[in-house]
Amino acid sequence: MSFLRIDAVSKSFGANTVVKKFDLSIRKGEFISLLGPSGCGKTTVLRMVAGFEMPSSGSIVIDGDDVTNRPANRRRIGMVFQAYALFPNMNVFNNVAFGLKITGAGKAQIRTRVEEMLSLIGLSHLADRYPYQMSGGQQQRVALARALAPQPRVLLLDEPLSALDAKIRTSLREEIRQIQQRLGITTIFVTHDQEEALSISDRVVVMNAGRADQIGTPYEIYNRPATRFVAGFVGTLSLVDGVAGSDHTVAVGDCPITLAEPSRCEPGTPVTLALRPEAVKLEQTAERINRLTCRVEDTSFLGSVVRLRLSSAGGTLLADTFNSPAAPPPVPGEKVDLYFSPADVIALAKEPGAKAVQAAH
Ligand SMILES: Nc1ncnc2c1ncn2[C@@H]1O[C@H](COP(=O)(O)OP(=O)(O)O)[C@@H](O)[C@H]1O
Ligand SMILES: [Mg+2]
């Protein structure tokens, strides 16, 4: 049973349709990320759920309640923006109390709730501070407390971490996830950062030009991308050109590659194989029945991982190997064989935007 339903929602600004028949059903307490490149319509979807923007068509239902045409302040939704959205002339206490005052709560009730919220975000000791006296990370935690204080039905977060430095970004995203789980609040989180989306979401919606290309768990999105766009946008992927053979095989130069499922391509037609850098190995095992001969072009030492850039008959690909002091990585110019299992190959139909014809399991 879905708690929040976005049903065939479209949005046009003049002649420009930026959200196209967007469907999404969210369970109560679920954490959903909208992931996609800049301009794909993520913020517009969020603003329509919040009521800051009206859909050109379609409907939005929250807990059985059709809110499509209801103003923002009557939807019981909490929202956190990218940054710098606190009231600069109010201290932390008054920022968090703001939404409660609007609902007409009593003084004692407001104090209790604000204290509860500040304790939730670990900033009880900063109640008297003003936004300019706090770090970006602290300000975003206050923004979260402010959004949650009036007990909204849905929490909307629009790239709340993107203005922070890398370390704070990682710790705050984990904190957001913990708070969300503790409160069990239904949440939509917008980001263009795939690692962020994959690390904290129950499900991820990958958006491409106003549409949902794929909706799935982080595991499904990463391992079974439904389209070429998703495959390219989520994670690092090497694309290698091959030619379909019979049923389960694709030839890359002289190397026959076996797929987990039939390619469903006419023998002799072009097929693109997608391989994750962590799936291709220099060591052979019983499962890694595929062998692709390559030449090392370049190596980059990333610490625990050494990334190799290699050329094959089907094009360039990347391979990640673990650093080992006992076994130095191959050097540029060296010929090596890469090994991988049928399940690690994603076969993509040739045309851009086409559905994947076979995905890894
Ligand atoms: N109020 C508006 N008027 C006209 N065009 C807009 C408006 N808001 C957004 N757009 C356009 O809609 C598209 C999607 O924007 P947005 O939803 O902000 O994308 P994202 O959040 O994914 O970066 C962009 O091309 C943007 O320029
Ligand atoms: Mg945006």
What 8-state DSSP symbol labels residue 330?
P
List all residues 6 or more positions away from 78 whose beta carbon is below 8 Å from its beta carbon: 99, 146, 147, 148, 150, 152, 154, 155, 156
Within-domain flag for 230: no
Q: How far is CA 201 from CA 8, 15, 190, 235, 343, in A?
A: 23, 34, 11, 16, 25
Please give the number of the atom of ligand 1 that sits closest to the Cα of 207.
22
Question: Is the beta carbon of 38 within 6 A of some atom in ligand 1?
Answer: yes
Residue nearest to ligand 1 atom 7, measured at CA: 13
Beta strands in 27-153 (DSSP E): 31-35, 57-62, 65-66, 77-80
Residues 146 and 16 in one domain: yes
What is the Cα–Cα distance from 36 to 197, expressed in whole angstroms? 10
Q: How far is CA 335 from CA 327, 329, 330, 361, in A?
A: 16, 12, 9, 29
Residues 155 and 297 in one domain: no
Residue 357: pLDDT over 80: no
Within-domain flag for 360: no
In this structure, of 56-70, 221-235, 323-337, the range with the lowest mean pLDDT score is: 221-235
Question: Is the beta carbon of 40 within 6 A of some atom in ligand 1?
Answer: yes
Distance 6 CA to ligand 1 centre (A): 18
Could you tell me the residue range of the domain that residue 138 belongs to?
2-223
132-173, pLDDT tens digit by residue? 999 999 999 999 999 999 999 999 999 999 989 988 999 999
Check which CATH number belongs to the domain holding 326 and give it.
2.40.50.100
| Contact assessment for residue 246 and residue 318, using Cβ atoms and an 8 Å cutoff | no
Residues 56 and 23 in one domain: yes
Distance 43 CA to ligand 1 centre (A): 7
Residues 58 and 125 in one domain: yes
Within-domain flag for 354: no
Residues 300 and 337 in one domain: yes
Containing H/E element for 140? helix 136-148
Residue nearest to ligand 1 atom 1, measured at CA: 13
Confidence of residue 349 (pLDDT cuts 50, 70, 90): low
Within-domain flag for 357: no
By DSSP bridging, strand 203-208 and strand 186-191 are unpaired
Residues 276 and 344 in one domain: yes
Distance 196 CA to ligand 1 centre (A): 22
Where is the domain boundary, 223, 250, 279? 223
Model-wide pTM > 0.95:
no
Backbone angles phi, psi at 280, to 5 degrees: -100, 130
Residue 249: pLDDT over 70: yes
Containing H/E element for 301? strand 290-301
Distance 38 CA to ligand 2 centre (A): 7
Q: Give the mean model confidence (pLDDT) for residues 100-128.
A: 93
Within-domain flag for 266: yes
Shortest-distance ligand to the CA of residue 210:
1
Share of the chain above pLDDT 90, in %: 80
pLDDT at res. 356: 43
What is the Cα–Cα distance from 290 to 345, expressed in whole angstroms? 10
Confidence of residue 346 (pLDDT cuts 50, 70, 90): confident
Residues 218 and 312 in one domain: no
Within-domain flag for 40: yes
Residues 201 and 66 in one domain: yes
293-319, pLDDT tens digit by residue? 999 999 998 888 999 999 999 999 999
| Contact assessment for residue 271 and residue 261, using Cβ atoms and an 8 Å cutoff | no
Mutate to test the pocket of ligand 1, among 16, 18, 40, 158 (most ligand atoms within 8 A of CB): 18
For residue 345, the Cα-to-chain-centroid distance in whole angstroms is: 22
Within-domain flag for 359: no
Residue nearest to ligand 1 atom 24, measured at CA: 39
Residues 147 and 241 in one domain: no
Distance 82 CA to ligand 1 centre (A): 15
Residues 21 and 106 in one domain: yes
Check which CATH number belongs to the domain holding 102 and give it.
3.40.50.300
Where is the domain boundary, 165, 188, 223? 223
Residue 359 structure tokens: 């995905």
Question: Is the beta carbon of 13 within 6 A of some atom in ligand 1?
Answer: yes
What is the Cα–Cα distance from 340 to 350, expressed in whole angstroms? 22
Mean pLDDT of the chain: 92
Within-domain flag for 97: yes
Angle between helical axes of 92-102 and 136-148 (0-180°, round to 10)? 20
Question: Is the beta carbon of 224 within 6 A of some atom in ligand 1?
Answer: no
Residues 144 and 268 in one domain: no
Distance 9 CA to ligand 1 centre (A): 15
Where is the domain boundary, 159, 192, 223? 223
Residues 138 and 89 in one domain: yes
Higher pLDDT, 300 or 1: 300
Residue nearest to ligand 1 atom 21, measured at CA: 43
Distance 193 CA to ligand 2 centre (A): 12
Backbone angles phi, psi at 148, to 5 degrees: -85, -20
Shortest-distance ligand to the CA of residue 45:
1
Shortest-distance ligand to the CA of residue 158:
2
Distance 210 CA to ligand 1 centre (A): 10
Question: Is the beta carbon of 42 within 6 A of some atom in ligand 1?
Answer: yes
Closest residue by Cα to residue 24 from 188, 232, 200: 188
